[in-house]
Amino acid sequence: MTSLRIDHILSKTRGDRWIWIIVIMLSVISMMAVYSSIGTLAYTRGVGAESILVKHMFMIVGGIALMYISHKLDYRYYAGISKLLMVITIPLLVYTLFFGSHINGASRWVAIPGTGLSFQTSDLAKLALITYLARLLSRKQENIKDVKQSFVPIMGSVCLVFALIGPANLSTGLMLFGVSILLLIMGRISVKQIAVVCAAGAVLLAGMLTFGGRKGTHSSRMETFLHPERADPDKVFQSNHAKIAIASGGLFGKGPGRSTERNYLPEAFSDEIFAIIVEEYGVFGGLFVMGIYIFLLYRCIRIVTKAPKAFGALLAAGLSFSLTIQAFANMAVAVGLGPVTGVPLPLVSMGGTSILFTSVAFGIILSVSRHIDENTEAAGKKVVVGEIMEVAA
């Protein structure tokens, strides 16, 4: 009976089945790791860990529902939706920069009226910019070298979003800028024009680091990363305990729920969740999680190479690059290969609305994959019908 229900559910989903499996695996890992790491958070809030886990599970279920809806929509509709997203995103980013909620000295969040929830506008900006760039690049292929018609609007959208995200969320802004450059390369933008975009980005970055409201935070984090021996103990507290968690995990880990560093690590359930995973499941557990994201990138690249239209290929490429780059940035910070940032591990960290936006990105990738499968099935049916007609003749 159970197998029949699973088959019925799978029959309603299309697209790359491996990506569906990856999402389910990451969701299960997320629930286990989050439940293990929210003890301190629950104590601080004066609630049970189970209540926080239930809310997290609701977000995961909601994310899977959004992913299902997104994958049912023909990916070509996202070209039109991207314009609306940009119209919504730019004012929201401006509002967030000046009037957003301040946490840890950064204005990144906007409250959703009547829900008690808040979200990072940079999560919406990632979806908006990547879909919009894919639309521009695919529609302007015939005159892609034209500076006025093609290059100026493309460069303007990239630099504008970067300039609005960077002051409060530099790490996310830099990752999104890097993904945009990869899309420009795939979209056949000339090397000279890409160099101009990079130069403009460098000027914006220099301005943020020199005059931005968080310039002290950025320089302090970089100085702490490069010279931890000279840093204030409070500033290396998070990175040191992440390293302790990873080192104490060994090859096979301490076992589920047996982490000790979860009681010391700030944001153990979010930014540093990879360190908790390695502490409890060992190096092999960490490599397994890393392998999932590498396999995700591989499956997405297969979708990109099979996509019949430029828009679908660029859309799948941009979203997959964004997800995997974010994942490896999070893991790099946990193991000490990068300065501390506020980047969560996609679909694993407890992140509220960020899970929903990530799920929509997965859904769009699956929509492109679904279109490829449907075209392949249609082509196969035509071949079969043709062979039948030949035999009948």
The pair of structure tokens assigned to 24 is: 């389910």
* Spatial separation of the C-alpha atoms in residues 367 and 316, rounded to whole Å: 9
Q: What is the pTM of this model?
A: 0.89
Q: Give the model's pLDDT for residue 204.
A: 87
Spell out the residues 6+ positions from residue 33 whose beta carbon is closer than 8 angstroms to its own: 269, 273, 276, 277, 280, 348
What whole-number distance in Å separates Cα of residue 4 and Cα of residue 24?
19
Q: What average pLDDT does this structure show over 173-200?
A: 89
- Give the separation between CA 185 and CA 361, rounded to whole angstroms: 21
CA 367 – CA 73 distance, rounded (Å): 7
**77-98: pLDDT as tens digits:** 999 999 999 999 999 888 888 8
384/286: higher pLDDT = 286
8 Å CB contact between 304 and 211: no
Among the residue ranges 25-39, 140-154, 168-182, 293-307, the one predicted with the least confidence is: 140-154
More confident of the two residues 262 and 10:
262
What are 259-301's pLDDT values in tens digits? Answer: 888 888 888 888 889 999 999 999 999 999 999 999 999 999 9
* Residue 338 burial (CB count, 10 A): 18
